[in-house]
Amino acid sequence: MISADDLIALVRNYNPKTNEALIRSAFEYGGEMHEGQFRHSGEPYFSHPVAVAAILTEQQLDDGTIITALLHDTIEDTKASYASVSELFGEEVAKLVDGVTKLTNLQLNSSETKQAENFRKLFMAMSKDMRVILVKLADRLHNMRTIKSMRPEKQVQKARETMDIFAPLAGRMGMQWMREELEDLAFRVLNPEGRSSIMRRFVSLQRETGDVIERITGDMRMELEKADIDAEIFGRAKKPYSIWRKMQEKDQSFSRLSDIYGFRIVTHSEEDSYRTLGAIHQRWSAVPGRFKDYISQPKTNGYRSIHTTVSGRDGKRVEVQIRTRQMHDVAETGVAAHWSYKDGVRSQNPFAVDPAKWISQLTEQFDGEDDHEDFLEAVKLEMYSDQVFCFTPKGEVVKLPRGATPIDFAYAIHTRIGNACVGSKIDGMRVPLWTRVKNGQSVEIITAEGQSPQTTWLEIATTGKAKTAIRRSLREADRESFIKLGRELARSAFAHVGQKSTEKALETAAVVLRLKDPDEVLARLGSAELTGRQVVQAIYPELIPQKGAPVDASRAVIGLKAGQSFERATCCQPLPDERIVGISMRGRGVVVHTIDCEHLIKLEDRADDWLDLRWHDGSHAAVYTATLRMTIGNGAGVLGRVCSLIGETGANISDLQFMDRKPDYFLLLIDVDLRDVQHLHTLMGALNAQDEVAAIERYRNIDLPDANSAPSG
């Protein structure tokens, strides 16, 4: 349990004007009231309210909410009363504590009729002061994090209630991170075998493919730097429950499920957000039907962001969210952003919604529902309202994102229908193609032979599927002339840097740019979708100064305990920006491995020796050795040119071994000193573009004994 000083420090980080004395008084009062009470785990009961308060500091909430968290169980479970809490901490806090107490007493997992009535009470409590539900959600989150100490039947009851009510409620309020964690914690209880299966398959996938997240993050960072866009990029694998749900919805096995990675790009302005979307779609192909613009069409809880799904490395689908810092702050806390503080003052975020208006709009929709079951259905539909459902003239349902148009509807049916579209009818009446479709409408698409997509459709369409099909049709109309022009532009661009525009160079550019083949590179170059500089940079990127403060190599890893030293495992040779774990070894300190290192399998049963580590942000010196295995042609000057190119990319050769010599080729192992994993990818891309280089790969010696040393314990 953290101390009062630690909790106050957490609040002071975002609110220097906090009433420290009042928070300390609440901490001491809560500890006194809960004295002698213990949780199922055997811990002092007061550790729970303190943990709830700490969770709420992550959302930078006001003093009243933090104090309510510390006292939220006092009126119900101790000798404290409404009057005593009001006298000591004010009427506002007393009302909040009383509201949380009443919510706690609601049996939300009961029969349908009673559940509907309790939902009414829940919304009534929220309408008085929504901070009540914020405390209750944090209370449920901590209970789910510590649920293992409960009886099995109680765990199932709480997990089901969490999955059905609290998780979707958190999502409806815009607190998506909390929704995901609540769902995953409930999933761990309700289907432990399913979750374990997902985790095992995911670890296996990482071993087969390496750290996809770090590689794609590096690719995105490179594209944004080319477009001169300054932004933060975060990548992660989706939660096990999210993956499981997609498997169930799509009726696919894990091996066929591709969009299991998500990336978030936080920009400085709305303009940069749309420029970022352009850079991402220019580099990677958008997945049809997976684009949503919540910046121009924000959700009612204030959420704004651009969502798209693209085909990333090796055809893997990745979801990308793009938004500004202010939009990100609201996305992290949702409706709670109204109470958040920054630098001691109430945050004036223009995207934060007024909770009173939001809950008023929500409850008004349900007040007309006299029937309990209808009311409950209305609540649940509203919680999951992200899409619109339209009908074809034959009554078939078409699911579209909110804000979609008849153009999106046409392409959702079939690309051929979309390409031939000349008009539309909604509920029997002719409407313009830019009309926004609504739930329950019947949409009819009018087609004509010989029609083809128009450039203006790109501004009308909202789905990735429609935009991609329109662009493809427009591009193919002039493809041959674009390829011819692109070939001349490529020749000129490569000659400008002293290189040749060979077929192999264009093939390498196609791989790096995630395009189908060299002709696609030339076609996009000729149509001005790519520049000659971008094509050349894909293979021979200019040396761009690293951002951030220089990192001391002896302190490059974060997560070590005081006094611990580290060394890189020689088996996998981890590089900065790769995902890593540490293994405590007797006499050696901590040995750092990449997350996909095969040696880690031997230590799966020694969980106490594992450390969660990450590389320090900033600019690393080129002192981290990685081994490359290369096959090069045996010709005059070939090795010299290869070594020169390595030096030109800012890497240093520290060792070189000839593994095999033949009349027509050499097989080499070359140790190169690098800055980070992106430096490695840049170097390998430049080498692979050379005609004399037949093959190149990163070499990892799994026979080295790094993981066989004795653990620390």
- Active-site amino acid positions: 76-77
Task: Give the C-alpha separation, 659 to 631, whole Å.
Answer: 10
Nearest to 290 by CA among 309, 277, 318, 274: 309
Amino acid, single-letter form, for residue 433: L
Place of tokens 């970022």: 276
Bridge partners (DSSP) of residue 674 are 624
3-class DSSP assignment, residue 291: coil
Q: Give 687: exposed, middle or buried? Use CB within 10 Å, 0-12, 13-18, 19+.
A: buried
Amino acid, single-letter form, for residue 664: D
Task: Dihedral sign for Cα 544, 545, 548, 554, please.
Answer: positive
Task: Give the C-alpha separation, 198 to 175, whole Å.
Answer: 24
Task: Give the C-alpha separation, 402 to 439, whole Å.
Answer: 9
Starting at the earlier edge strand, list the strands of the sheet with 429-431. 429-431, 421-426, 443-447
* CA-only gyration radius of the chain, Å: 29
Q: Give 292: exposed, middle or buried? Use CB within 10 Å, 0-12, 13-18, 19+.
A: buried
589-594 and 566-568 beta bridge pairing: parallel
Count of Cβ atoms closer than 10 Å to residue 468 Cβ: 21
Count of Cβ atoms closer than 10 Å to residue 629 Cβ: 16
Token pair of 372 as six digits: 């309990």
Starting at the earlier edge strand, list the strands of the sheet with 566-568. 557-558, 610-615, 580-585, 589-594, 566-568
Nearest to 232 by CA among 309, 104, 321, 132: 321
Task: Give the C-alpha separation, 136 to 125, whole Å.
Answer: 11
3-class DSSP assignment, residue 585: strand
443-447 and 566-568 beta bridge pairing: unpaired
Rounded (10°) CA dihedral 546, 551, 557, 562 = -160
